Amino acid sequence: MLLVDVEKIRSGVKKMLEVNMGLDKGETVLVLTDCLTPLLWINESDEEIVEMVRRTILAKSVYEVAKEEFPGNKVEFYVYSATGRSGAEPGKEVEEKMASHDVAIAITSYSLTHTRAREKATSKGVRVASMPGFLAEMFYEGGPMDVDYEEIARETRRIAEILTKAEEAELKTDKGTNLKFSLKGRRGKADHGLFREKGSWGNLPAGEAYIAPLEGTANGVVVVEKEWYPSLKEEMKLIFKNGYVEDVRGGGEVGGKLRDLLGFACREEREEIYIKRRNLAELGIGMNPNAKRTDVILEAEKIKGTVHVAIGDNSHMGGKVESDLHIDFVIPNPTLKLGGSLILEEGKLKA
């Protein structure tokens, strides 16, 4: 049984490097991925272990296709030990490896997007596609990579401008989400998937407009619905007070792990680490018409008509909080007001 059908991903990989990354002849490409550590073999579920192994093999297949399709470019494959947490630093060796290429394709299980390693690479002109949780079928015809990225760029930039002009946000759903926060002084950004200029970066698949809320201003509740977060079998509520998660209710095993990550029973000397992880870090609006999966955050947060909020680090998107964690939570069928103007109504774009 083939874990990756190379011929099914070939066209998507070629398009990614040509269209999304704007690869020129002679440029160097790094395809990197993270692999299971002994601790992850012990702590992760069988399902999660299988997905990580598949993703590592997918990254190797992308590397092999890239080598075959772009003989005028030097393509390198690099594997490192998984950090076990999105936003955690991958280490000096990974940092140096990323910074030594023209293009870096990060097909990982734990995100490098909000790390100093990614930031240092892009500051040196490297073009980075961060693809945490990526699946082979995202390359297939009709998948979230198979879209008009020029149109995605136009739409996400338009919504990013609306975010920039707004001074406050109000987010509600009929499931109980009710959250308000300030956007004053913050700039909206577009994750449009076109990384052709030196130092440009973002997710693939892409398709979102996002902004870092003003720290200390978020109050209310976010309801994360079951099956809208990996392995989430029951509803989970995040309670925010003055910009930070004050409590996590429900969520079963997922909720328990999140409570541990946020340190609600922590020892005092580590309290600052946990407080930073609790920060409301991001508001994002999905804009990709081919994004469909709800259980893979990378794709779910791009679903057109959804909103996502994140906690933890926002220093790489215009905020002031540096954290070793960045976790997104996707909210379907939202009603979103920006500065009093209706942007989404029950998942329908009104702007």
In a domain, residue 1? The reply is: no
Provide the CATH number for the domain around residue 101: 3.40.50
* Residue 292, Cβ density class (10 Å: 0-12 exposed, 13-18 middle, ≥19 buried): middle
In a domain, residue 309? The reply is: yes
Phi first, then psi, for residue 47 (nearest 5°) are -60, -45
Residue at 104: amino acid letter: A
Cα dihedral value 222, 228, 231, 234, nearest 10? 60
Half-sphere exposure (CA, 13 Å, Cβ side) for 152? 31
In a domain, residue 186? The reply is: yes
* Residue 15, Cβ density class (10 Å: 0-12 exposed, 13-18 middle, ≥19 buried): middle
What does R_g of the chain's alpha carbons equal in angstroms?
Answer: 19
Both 193 and 341 in a single domain? Answer: yes
Total count of domains within the chain: 2
Both 312 and 332 in a single domain? Answer: yes
Which of residues 89, 106, 139 is at a domain's end? 139
Residue 42: CB atoms within 10 A of its CB come to: 7
* DSSP conformational letter for 167: S
120 three-class SS = helix
Both 286 and 163 in a single domain? Answer: yes
Both 132 and 154 in a single domain? Answer: no
In a domain, residue 163? The reply is: yes
Q: Measured between alpha carbons, how far is 78 from 59 in angstroms, rounded to an integer?
A: 9
Both 278 and 253 in a single domain? Answer: yes
pTM, full prediction: 0.87
Both 111 and 247 in a single domain? Answer: no
Both 335 and 207 in a single domain? Answer: yes
In a domain, residue 121? The reply is: yes
* DSSP conformational letter for 212: -
Which of residues 78, 110, 139 is at a domain's end? 139
Both 284 and 165 in a single domain? Answer: yes
Query: Model confidence over 235-279: pLDDT tens digits?
Result: 999 999 999 999 999 999 999 999 999 998 766 667 899 999 999
pLDDT at 87 (0 to 100): 87
pLDDT at 44 (0 to 100): 85
pLDDT at 338 (0 to 100): 97
Show the CA angle centred on residue 207, arms to residues 206 and 213, nearest 5°: 105
Q: Please list the ranges in the chain whose pLDDT falls under 50.
A: none
pLDDT at 3 (0 to 100): 80
pLDDT at 301 (0 to 100): 96
Handedness of CA 307, 227, 144, 36 (dihedral sign): positive
In a domain, residue 53? The reply is: yes
Which of residues 109, 139, 169 is at a domain's end? 139
In a domain, residue 144? The reply is: no
Both 114 and 203 in a single domain? Answer: no
Contacts of 262 (CB under 8 A, 6+ apart): 245, 248, 274, 277, 278, 311
Both 125 and 162 in a single domain? Answer: no
* DSSP conformational letter for 23: P
Both 179 and 301 in a single domain? Answer: yes
pLDDT at 114 (0 to 100): 87
In a domain, residue 287? The reply is: yes
Burial code of 89-118, b = ≥16 C-beta within 10 A, e = fewer? ebeeebbebbbebbbbbbbbbbbbbbbebb
Both 302 and 222 in a single domain? Answer: yes
Instruction: State the residue range of the domain holding 342.
Output: 149-349
pLDDT at 268 (0 to 100): 61
Nearest residue to 203 via CA among 146, 145, 279? 145
pLDDT at 1 (0 to 100): 52
